[in-house]
Structure 1
Amino acid sequence: MGSKFALLLALALVALPLLSSPVAAADGDVDSGDTAWLMISTGLVFIMTPAVAFFYGGMLRKSNFLSMLGQSILIIGVVTIIWVVFGYSLTFGADNGGLIGGAEYLMLNGVDISPSSIAPTVPHILFMMYQGMFAIITVALIIGGVAERMKLGSLILFLSIWTAAVYIPVAHWVWGGGWIYDLGALDFAGGTVVHITAGVSVLAATLVLGKRISQVKGGQEVPHNIPMVVLGGALLWIGWFGFNGGSALASNGLAANALVVTHISAAMAAAVWGLISWLDTGRVSVLGLISGGVAGLVAITPAAGFVNPTGALFIGLGAAVVCYGGILLRKRLGFDDALDVWGVHGLGGTFGAIATGLFATTTVNAAGKDGLLYGGGGDLLVAQLISVAVVWAFAFGATFVILKVLSKVMPLRMTKNEERIGADIIQHGESAYYLR
């Protein structure tokens, strides 16, 4: 009963009466090529949410696969409503003291088909939706870290609050003209905004929730469907071309560079991960290969619009080493990050953000800065380190407090018997596999 009430409360918080806003009739200086590319990129980033559900779902027990898909679809709905009602405005509205955006775009008031100052060659409403896809995929990542144990209603309420209290402020700090933007830190497509916030928040969540019952006595983490993991990872790889390439907000050379270095970093990380796996275990894990690719994609995200192919090679190499080591560290420390969101996204995003301070070059993006290795001195690296440290502390602390408060007013976890049965039947009354 409590779970159902929590779910209804979460939906009530975001399902405010939707008011219509006028749509401008003039296109202004909208560029058709830029608009077409951003429309495609919006679709590519959207695909990443069901892709991550397949990627994560294949690593779970088969009795929880459907719940991963269902929770991801539900998050698409909930976060979209939050984004439309107030999320976009508080992220990209006029800055208030470097901390949060203004209220001028509430209910998308004034967000129409004419361009905005942020993206001057594409319709404002398209830029809004593109950024909304980033909010959705960030929240979806967190689901993987708390899989197989949270009640559905508690999960949705937590993620609704988290979107408003963590994602939106950090996105404003970095992209909306907030204090990290003014500091001079660079984050092209979400190393801090997406990957550090999600990964570090999962670390906090696992400490509050505790281990799954299957892991309390050191149970083996055995994926139930590795081909599904590879399918999800491959779709993520494709979607990342829109994630990073689309962040140029134009169909130009910068977008092309971002797309190319994205692939180079992922390819390098997959290959190096395979090598490390062979040296460590004597075998080349298929799960490891695709996980390495994702680690490379994560690490290049903040740097994609600022580094050249050489930098991408080193970032991919470093991502494999850092994230592989992070997963080993997680196992040694014993906290139950079900699908290594902290190890891959938290640490991968951290490494990528710091590496941007080393490998960024204005020969790629004149609007950026030269990193330490390209004659820029240490200013950019210091700014990157400050932004990483603050976002780590904020995301961890806020998530810990949110879940601790919620735990006082409602049960967060399924019962032991429900965990044994699996979330597919308990939460959805359905099974992913009806085999005869």
Structure 2
Amino acid sequence: MLLSVAFGAHAYAQVKTPADTSQEGMIRKQEKPVDTRADLSKQYDFGDMLNDILRPKRKADSTRKRSAITVVPNIAANPTIGFQIGIKAVAGKVLGNVPHTYMSTAATSASITTKGILYFYFLHNIFTPGNKWNLQGSIVASKSVTPDFGLGIGQASNKSPEDYILTNPERKPYVWHSEYYKFFEKVYKEIGHNLFLGAGVEFEMRRHLNNPKYDSILTPFEIYNERYGFPQDHYVASGFLFNVQYTTRDNPNRAYKGVYIDGGFRVNQTWVGSSKNSLQFTYDFRKYFSLSARTPEHVIAFWSWGSGVVAGAVPYLELPGTTRDPSFRSGRGYTGGYFKSTQFFYSETEYRFPITRNKLFSGVTFVNIESANDKSGTRLFEVWQPAAGLGLRVLFNKATRTNLCLDYAWGRYGTKGFFLNLNETF
């Protein structure tokens, strides 16, 4: 069992973008916001609780604006990373006039662990007034460890001894140390109502990939690199992004209703520094149904995410898989990268419901499934791996619908985990 705080599904510290700061999944404000000032006055969040404790005689001021910035400790502990301490901040603000401008969001985090792991990121998703332009981007720098559980969906391959090691049906964990750097920037132009066309660049690099523990052991990582011609100790994946996006979601942190669709291609090219040429297609579909006009927090949410390498070769640790979605929060119940391959599909359904009348506490239940090919005979959609769980929500900032999320999930192979994050998984 793992313990992870503010790291979500990344229990091994190969942590990237939390859902509350998803660069491609950060959501917009609806044209007719569900929340009104009267609605907010009936809600009670963590800030209200602190005021009642620290200033019990102070009267509530309905005209006072609540800060859109939320700051929390970033803490985690497990045998791989040791004990982690850090800080995380997220923010949301409408830069134009409501309802004609969507909400802009940003986040940053810095952390260090007792085993020398360092991690820093800064993310932004900015909408200019009137939604004419949308700028999405991130910078990541880390000295980290990355778990590896083999290629595919956990199905044994009998083609050859190497294929058996590559597919790793027992899900034996391998852990790789490296330096990881990422730069991503994409610019969207609104070309129709709620419809955006975008293009950009993405650069990922890993250096000093190593683990002396596996010097005398053949690993899935090494087998894949030999077959596809990647170096064993470093690689670069750099290229261009082309996307189409449509959104009607009503809030960037916790949607009550609406839809989000994003699809596009990533084109890695050696002439811009990539180790290999490749063409990869990815889509992201999310739909939200509020079950009650009186209590819109009763929500059924659906999520489907998939990605496939159309041509060329993608570096092994960057293949689509568990937690490789834009928010890096898929696959609760499994460690990041637990399943991965050249073709990957993920789907999740979640029920969200209020617990207390003042909305301070709410809850969720969820189920998810994953499927992948393995390049050794198993096809996409042929084998499925499920997981399920439940969670508690604490309303941290009612002005931005920021929730503190505590989830516990169970998967196969004896996997299970506790996950704490800001904002909903999707």
TM-score by length of 1: 0.28
**RCO higher in structure (CA 8 A, sep ≥6):** 1
Q: Give the structure with the larger strand fraction.
A: 2
